[in-house]
């Protein structure tokens, strides 16, 4: 399946928005609070699975090209890998059904779980393995997840509202 110019444009826009949303951040430890997860949810809602995958992969490439190889040893970089899987899964779940608020919400929850499932082990690997710390599972969950749940809920609700209101105006929602 060939990507159209419109697909490539949407992929580039969502990759760039996800990249830029990192700079709106609140440092709270090894993983800052950012708007990136909101953009990952929206990528999944608005783009088809293949395009969502490419958008978040392009975001990863941009982070490495502009941040250097040391990006890989950032404790939060595992979440960037999680963004790729999450956006793809969210898109698959939303586009296999008639997108409604329930399917958006369920897809957002599933995608968020995937982000944590990939991001938290990477966080532990970098903090403990590479940086020589000895954080336990509880501390990794506190640093890398518990602090973020209220914001994830708010970003999830905002993404669902935006997707529901804009679904008729975005080509990806038209089957």
pLDDT, residue 165, reads: 87
- The list of the chain residues with pLDDT below 50 reads 173-175
pLDDT of residue 171: 54
pLDDT at residue 174, as a whole number: 44
User: Could you give all domains of the chain from N- to C-terminal order, each with its CATH number?
Assistant: 5-22+30-169 (1.10.1760.20)
pLDDT value at residue 99: 67
The values of phi and psi at residue 2, to 5°, are -85, 140
Encode pLDDT of 107-147 as tens digits. 999 999 999 999 999 999 999 999 998 999 999 999 999 99
């Amino acid at each position: 399946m060939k990507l159209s110019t419109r697909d490539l444009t949407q992929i580039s826009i969502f990759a760039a928005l996800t990249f830029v949303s990192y700079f709106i951040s609140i440092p709270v430890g090894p993983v800052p609070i950012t708007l990136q997860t909101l953009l990952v949810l929206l990528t999944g809602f608005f783009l088809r699975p293949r395009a969502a995958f490419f958008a978040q992969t392009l975001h990863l490439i941009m982070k490495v090209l502009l941040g250097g190889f040391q990006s890989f040893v950032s404790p939060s970089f595992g979440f960037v890998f999680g963004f790729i899987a999450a956006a793809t899964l969210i898109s698959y779940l939303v586009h296999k059904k008639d997108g409604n608020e329930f399917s958006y919400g369920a897809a957002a929850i599933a995608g968020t779980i995937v982000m944590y499932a990939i991001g938290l082990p990477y966080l532990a690997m970098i903090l403990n393995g590479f940086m020589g710390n000895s954080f336990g599972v509880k501390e990794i969950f506190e640093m890398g997840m518990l602090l973020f749940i209220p914001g994830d809920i708010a970003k999830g609700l905002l993404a669902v509202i935006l997707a529901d209101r804009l679904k008729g105006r975005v080509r990806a929602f038209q089957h």
